[in-house]
Amino acid sequence: MSKKTAPGCGTLILGAIALLFLIGKYGGNSTDSSQTPQPASVQVTKTPCPPGGMEPIEDFKRSGFIMQISPDGYDVYVSRQWYTSTLEEKKLIAIAFQRCISPGLHVNIYDGYSGKKLARFGEAWGFSIEE
């Protein structure tokens, strides 16, 4: 049995790979062990969209992956292509949405057809899949 992919899926995957590279290069989480842990009361700040980060976001829009963005930018509605992504891809996509679309510290991702909440990412709490 062969796996069916949506039209334009190859372009979408290439765009996602480019975005993952940009996030890793310009905005990934630091793993420097010399840093001391910060107390929970420290103010969390928004990590900016990496240089060139909007290009893959525009590719997501053109391909139909992003169906709609709420006026305030905190909610992104995605197509069924979301379901064909791996967990790691979903996490990186959510991080990109938060950094390049949302004006704040978090983003919610919804199914563009059913309105069901699929995932969320926040600078303070990280990535989570909704059940």
The structural domains of the chain, with segments of one domain joined by +, span 9-28+46-129
| Cβ-contact 104, 75 below 8 angstroms | no
- pLDDT, residue 8, reads 54
Output the average pLDDT for the chain.
80
- The C-alpha atoms of residue 33 and residue 24 are separated, in whole angstroms, by 17
Torsion angle, CA of 47/62/59/14, rounded to 10 degrees?
Answer: 140
Least confident of 4-13, 29-38, 69-78, 82-91: 29-38
- The C-alpha atoms of residue 97 and residue 106 are separated, in whole angstroms, by 9
- pLDDT tens string 2-42: 445 455 545 555 565 555 555 555 444 444 444 445 455 66
Give the global pTM. Answer: 0.70
* Single-letter residue type at 16: A
Model confidence at 107, pLDDT cuts 50, 70, 90, reads very high
- The C-alpha atoms of residue 113 and residue 73 are separated, in whole angstroms, by 18
